[in-house]
């Protein structure tokens, strides 16, 4: 496979103002996308999250697409999965999302959905990169694209989300705190749960362009945990900045991560004989989930980290359910991509079906202690190939033996090396992770 220069595991991402996240590059990116995906015209949807740079990049993309002859429909702030859904139902050539997901406001990114509402194939991303090498050329004035605004985008998506909850059931009697991370779900998520009958307290719903993911949302669930207890709520739902991830909080303030939510959804489907195969996790999925599935007779497979790889494995196995510890859960029997609101509704369906609380539903799974340390990379080097790092990992694996596992991997979205250690003994896990992280830091400095 040819190496990509710009595309990572989830589009193109970086710090605003630094290559490639600059207005001139994004303008040419829009033009390149138009050249590859719309040689005979068509329509493109553009949505964004709430970070301030979204205005700038929305205009740049629109200009580039227009120069290539494609019409654009602007959606404004909308969750990433909403853009996937609307791209499909609006019969658009592609859907473009301006978002850096769970990252701080000073980062941004561009990611794409195909006409089917799925991530673009590798060959299309490579074709776009090849087009970027060519000089930008503007169509004749008579063949430029037009721009419109899809005014009812939020309402369409709200109705879609509600349709994924079992017909004939509602959320009446449940008190829910919904944390929207001051992000793209701020104007849709509270409405979904409210219209299904829950009593909703919404937090993280005052975006100002700079506060996305700042102390709220799935990257800072402690805010929601406190609020759930203070409100005496039955549960809390924490979404990330672009709405494709979800974590949940039980009424006593206990946090449930993506592995535990995946377990609840899978067990509810298995009880209804509706699981349709097995479940896909990733290299980061807690070993406790794998063991729980084994006890329940549920097939389980691991994919590389990243929702695109989970989706690839699901398709290869013809399964329907997969996800990541981060809360990125894919329910292919409901939608085409990870959707925080839809995933939360599947967990709530399990609650209303069983009459049990979140903590009771996840009781069949025991998580192993897991320590994750992020080590920042200041330069592009292959840390995992360094002899000192390889030797330290081998020595640590020998010490843990069958009691645990170790995973070092570069982040697909940030300049980080993620050091993960998992095992039965919490103190040993913490010690090994700290030692390995220090070896990695030293190796980076020496390189």
Catalytic residues: 101
Instruction: Using alpha carbons, select from 428, 435, 373, 419 the residue that is nearest to residue 400.
Output: 428
Q: Strand, coil or helix: what is 84?
A: helix
Which H or E run includes 64? Answer: helix 54-67
- Dihedral sign for Cα 152, 186, 100, 123, please: negative
CB 191 within 8 A of CB 215: no
Please tell me the distance from the alpha carbon of residue 243 to that of residue 184, in angstroms, as a whole number. Answer: 6
3-state secondary structure of 52: coil
Closest CA to 412 of 139, 16, 102: 102
Phi, psi of 131 (to 5 degrees): -65, -30
With beta carbons less than 8 A apart as the criterion, state whether 241 and 101 touch.
yes
For residues 389 and 405, what is the distance between their CA atoms, to the nearest angstrom?
Answer: 16
Comparing C-alpha atoms, which of 237, 255, 190, 202 is closest to residue 343? 237
Q: What angle do CA 23, 307, 225 make, to 5 degrees?
A: 90
CB 68 within 8 A of CB 42: no
User: Strands 94-98 and 43-48, how do they pair?
Assistant: parallel
Residues with Cβ within 8 Å of 203's Cβ and at least 6 positions away in sequence, in order, are 177, 178, 179, 180, 216, 223, 224, 227
């Amino acid at each position: 496979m040819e190496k990509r220069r710009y595309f990572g595991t989830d589009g193109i991402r970086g710090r605003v103002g630094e290559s490639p996240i600059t207005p001139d590059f994004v303008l040419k990116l829009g033009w390149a996308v138009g050249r590859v995906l719309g040689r005979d015209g068509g329509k493109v949807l553009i949505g964004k999250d709430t970070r301030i740079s979204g205005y700038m990049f929305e205009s740049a993309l629109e200009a580039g697409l227009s120069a290539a002859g494609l019409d654009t429909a602007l959606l404004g702030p909308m969750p990433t999965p909403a853009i996937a859904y609307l791209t499909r139902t609006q019969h658009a050539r592609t859907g473009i999302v301006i978002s850096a997901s769970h990252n701080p406001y000073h980062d941004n990114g561009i990611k794409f959905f195909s006409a089917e509402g799925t991530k673009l194939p590798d060959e299309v991303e490579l074709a776009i990169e090849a087009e970027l090498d060519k000089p930008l050329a503007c169509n004749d004035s008579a063949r430029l694209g037009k721009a419109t605004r899809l005014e009812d985008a939020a309402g369409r998506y709200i109705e879609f989300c509600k349709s994924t909850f079992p017909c004939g059931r509602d959320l009446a009697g449940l008190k829910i705190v919904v944390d929207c991370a001051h992000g793209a779900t701020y104007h849709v998520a509270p409405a979904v749960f409210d219209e299904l009958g829950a009593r909703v307290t919404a937090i993280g719903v005052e975006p100002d362009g700079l506060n996305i993911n700042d102390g709220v949302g799935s990257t800072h669930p402690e805010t929601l945990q406190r609020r759930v207890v203070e409100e005496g709520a039955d549960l809390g739902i924490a979404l990330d900045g672009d709405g494709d991830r979800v974590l949940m909080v039980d009424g006593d303030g206990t946090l449930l991560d993506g592995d535990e939510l995946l377990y609840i959804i899978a067990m509810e489907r298995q009880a209804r004989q509706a699981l349709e195969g097995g479940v896909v996790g990733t290299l980061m999925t807690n070993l406790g989930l794998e063991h729980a599935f084994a006890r329940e007779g549920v097939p389980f497979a691991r994919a590389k980290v990243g929702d695109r790889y989970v989706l690839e494995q699901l398709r290869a196995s013809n399964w329907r359910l997969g996800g990541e510890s981060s809360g990125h859960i894919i329910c292919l029997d409901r939608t085409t991509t990870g959707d925080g609101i839809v995933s939360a509704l599947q967990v709530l369906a399990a609650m209303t079906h069983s009459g049990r609380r979140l903590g009771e539903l996840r009781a069949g799974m025991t998580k192993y202690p897991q320590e994750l340390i992020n080590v920042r990379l200041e330069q592009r080097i292959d840390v995992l190939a360094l002899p000192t790092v390889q030797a330290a990992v081998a020595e640590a694996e020998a010490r843990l033996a069958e009691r645990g596992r170790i995973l070092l991997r570069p982040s697909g979205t940030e300049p980080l090396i993620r050091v993960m250690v998992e095992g039965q003994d919490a103190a040993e896990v913490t010690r090994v992770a700290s030692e390995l992280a220090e070896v990695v830091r030293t190796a980076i400095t020496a390189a």
